[in-house]
Amino acid sequence: MKVLVANLGSTSFKYRLFDLPEGRQLARGGIDRIGQESSHCFVEIGDQEHEVDQAIADHAAAVQLCLDQLTDDNYGCLKSVDEVSAIGFKAVHAAHLSGVRIVDDELLSVMQELFDIAPAHNPPYVKAMRQLREAFPQIPLVAALETAFHETIPPENRSYAIPRNWEREHGIKKWGFHGASHRYIAGRVAELTGRDDLKVVSCHLGGSSSLCAIDAGQSKAASMGMTPQTGLPQNNRVGDFDPFALPYLIRRTGKSLEDILKDLSSKGGLYGLSNGLSTDLRDLEEAAAKGHESAGLAIKTYVAEIRRYLGGYFALLGGCDAVVFTGGIGENSKLVRAGVCNQMDWAGLKIDKQKNRTATGEAVISSDDSTVQVWTIPTNEEIIVARQTADAVSRVSSVESPGQ
């Protein structure tokens, strides 16, 4: 079964094509600046790479170009579009419609209701899904919701201290996100260690960051709460914040609630802490090394928040067997990893400075006498979504054709 996995932004479309059940990646590609005068498009199939700049009007046109590339007579890996069994999406938030679902009107409606909850994620996904349903009605669309992995979190770790009817009637609780990444890390650590009973803290650190406490492969707590704006400081999103500061800010600034929320979701996080210097940790590390005070504060605050959750998850799990760093920052920033693991000897966690400096790919960076293993593991959210998509399409096919 050939499954196309789509990762969408408001003006971007990135994809990977997998052959299931083997999980072999056949192709990957992407298109940036969709809807602008000129879009940059690239595709990598085997050892061949192709790039072109041309106008791409919308996400439907982006998918059409993708399919044209995959079926190209000279370098394509498919003979026909009909070989694509489904398109899977790493969708973010649909409240009670969690799990892995065939995209339908109900799902799109609920996702649209949550535009203000997930403003950077839900709008482009809903728009693209609607375009693709119309343009390619023969290809099933599947949404693998980021909240699905966290359905095993017990109530005491998901509930806010709010009136009980708010959760029952309005779904106000800690949903947790980055589910595909944390699910992949849980499975990969079990494969690498030969154990499926480990207590693991998965640290997905990147433009969007979260921690997850995992016990025997199941999520027990997640740092992101009701929305992807919460938990750790994000690249430009606030992270944890006292809601009672909002009316005070409204009075002091003269801004509306909507304007303040927009600032918190676009001018906060590392960008805000660095006084608008950058959303990219690499820029902040370079500036901090040259003495930029706000850049240094941004990094220190980011590390401090990671440590706060990490220590809490050690307590929640009753100990820890492995800490895993993943995501763009987790895999590449030796500075952040060292800061997070600093003075954790009390918990049995020690990193080897040399291993941390030279780590690439899947690597153990803990010292030989550390009782907690510390890993860097590149995540692979796309293969998780591909497998979930294939399972969903197979279930639908078996229901529609029970006698076959």
As annotated, the binding site for ATP includes 14, 280-282, 328-332
Provide the total of helices (H) and of strands (E) in the chain, helices listed first: 14, 14
Cis peptide preceding 243, ω within 30 of 0: no
With beta carbons less than 8 A apart as the criterion, state whether 3 and 386 touch. yes
Q: Is 14 helix (H, G, I), strand (E, B) or coil?
A: strand
The H-assigned helical ranges of 122-234 are: 122-135, 164-170, 179-193
Q: Are strands 322-326 and 363-364 parallel, antiparallel or unpaired?
A: unpaired
* Partner residues linked to 376 by β-bridges: 325, 363
* CB contact at 8 A, 185 and 218: no
Rounded Cα distance between 182 and 288, Å, is: 30
Q: Kindly give the interhelix angle for 122-135 and 59-70, rounded to the nearest 10 degrees.
A: 60
User: 224, 177 in Cβ contact below 8 A?
Assistant: yes
Element (H, E) at 111: helix 105-113
Q: Which residues are annotated as a binding site?
A: 7, 14, 280-282, 328-332, 381
SS3 for 100?
strand
Contacts of residues 165-171 at CB distance under 8 Å and 24 or more positions apart, as own/partner, are 171/95, 171/96
Three-state SS for 101? strand
* CA-wise closest residue to 8 among 97, 119, 91, 85: 91
The answer for residues whose C-beta is within 8 angstroms of residue 352's C-beta and 6 or more apart is: 365, 366, 367, 368
Q: In whole angstroms, what is the distance from residue 44 CA to residue 46 CA?
A: 6
SS3 147: coil
Give the residue ranges of the annotated binding site for Mg(2+). Answer: 7, 381
Location of structure tokens 């919460």:
230
CA separation for the pair 326, 3 (Å, rounded): 24
**Helix 293-317 / helix 281-289 crossing angle, nearest 10 deg:** 120
